[in-house]
Amino acid sequence: MRHRRTGRAALAAAAVLAATISGTATGVAAPTGGAAAGSAAEAGQPGSAGTAAAPSATGQAGSAQAAPGQHCSYDLRTAERHCFASQDQAVTAARARSGEVIQATLFDNRDYGGASFTVYGESLCKKDGVVNYQLDLPDDWKNRVSSVQPWGNCWIWLYPEPGLGGDRDGPFDENTPHVGDLMDDRTQSIGLS
């Protein structure tokens, strides 16, 4: 069983991620809390209506929680995967893609700790009652997801089998520091709706 980071390390990781995404993913400023946080999903940013913004960064704990190259970004359209030494670099690379929207970030540990896997695609999720995008996780990411952050108006559905198979859990429609015992370290595919 893996050691999971909690407490200050997890808070620092969340703070670094909040600072990382304080720019734009789709050309709209990220919410800073309060009433603006309600439009986070519509702006292509983490969370959804009613999600509070994470605290501001106070240190560099995000890259300290995973080995170099453990923070990856994945393009749903092209199946290109690029890995980086820090969460900041992975999100910056995904955000730099013209016409692309960050849709979800999956984390290896609870409280957004450890390695990360940021998924991006061509547009916001439609909220039309169906899975708009799906992904069978790469072998090195199967059975690892413990916390998630939805972006780009997406809800995240977790499945215990490839091809969206098995009993799904979700929707995870806001930043979720622990996906719960049902799917913790059991996810093999994800659906975004």
How would DSSP label each residue in 145-190? --EEEE-TT--EEEESBGGGBS--EEEE-S-BS---TTTTTT--EE
% of the chain exceeding 90 in pLDDT = 55
Domain encompassing residue 115: 8-26+42-50+61-129+142-155+172-181
The answer for residues whose C-beta is within 8 angstroms of residue 74's C-beta and 6 or more apart is: 80, 81, 117, 118, 119, 120, 135, 138
Confirm whether 188 is domain-assigned. Answer: no
pLDDT at 157 over 80: yes
Q: Is 56 a domain residue?
A: no
Residue 95's pLDDT band (boundaries 50, 70, 90)? confident
Let me know if residue 150 belongs to a domain. Answer: yes
Whether residue 193 is contained in a domain is answered as: no
87 within domain boundaries: yes
Q: Is residue 75 part of a domain?
A: yes
Predicted structure pTM score: 0.66
The answer to the question of residue 31 being in a domain is: no
Q: How many domains is the chain partitioned into structurally? A: 1
- Domain contains 34: no
Give bridge partners of residue 147 from the DSSP assignment: 107
Q: pLDDT tier at 34 (50, 70, 90 boundaries)?
A: very low
